[in-house]
Amino acid sequence: MAVPISERIPNNQEDMYRSMFDAFSSNLRVAMPGIIQSFDPVEQTVTVQPAIRERVQDGKLQSSWVNLPLLLDVPIVLPRAGNMVMTMPIAAGDECLVIFADMCYDAFFSNGGIQNQIEKRRHDLSDGIAIIGMWSQPNVIENYSTTSAQLRNLNGTQYVEISDNAVNLVGNVRVNGNPL
């Protein structure tokens, strides 16, 4: 049943400001979980389906839940610094956290360095950045090590482990290279 117009009109300044803030914040994007649909290893971007539906209201004040659109050409975040980077085999179905930039970053993404903002956008769905590695409870890591750092496969059969007193290589180990 529709809410009578008299109940939708703010009757004091506090209600008016609350209503204005609610309208503003309902369009503000900060972060949300997503599910990778595809990975482009050349451009190193992903297509992401936001994993939270949004409730929308039509002109007749009827509400329904809708999927947000696919986010296309989303840059990825992986550990990278200096002359080193840790890559991962990103695949469809992987979960991630998408954060939304304060401003349009198109010029920076295309050219690097300090750039002017091309469009006046803030916290827009088109300015998402995927942080790979977030996961939901159905996808928790089994046998998570609380005493060492590990680079491992999910089932724990292959890993490199660094603890306080040892470095362990577990699984099939292949060494290629030249002696120093």
40-81 pLDDT per residue, tens: 999 999 999 999 999 888 888 888 999 999 999 999 999 999
User: Is the confidence at residue 157, as pLDDT, over 80?
Assistant: yes
- Domains of the chain and CATH, by start: 29-138 (2.40.50.230), 141-173 (no CATH)
Beta strands in the chain (DSSP E): 31-40, 45-50, 54-57, 63-66, 71-77, 80-81, 84-85, 95-100, 128-132, 149-152, 159-162, 167-170
pTM given for the model: 0.80
Q: What are phi and psi of 76, to 5 degrees?
A: -105, 155
73-112 pLDDT per residue, tens: 999 999 999 999 999 999 999 999 999 999 999 999 999 9
What's the pLDDT score for residue 9?
Answer: 61
Q: Torsion over CA of 143, 145, 149 and 153, rounded to 10 degrees?
A: 0
24 DSSP assignment: H
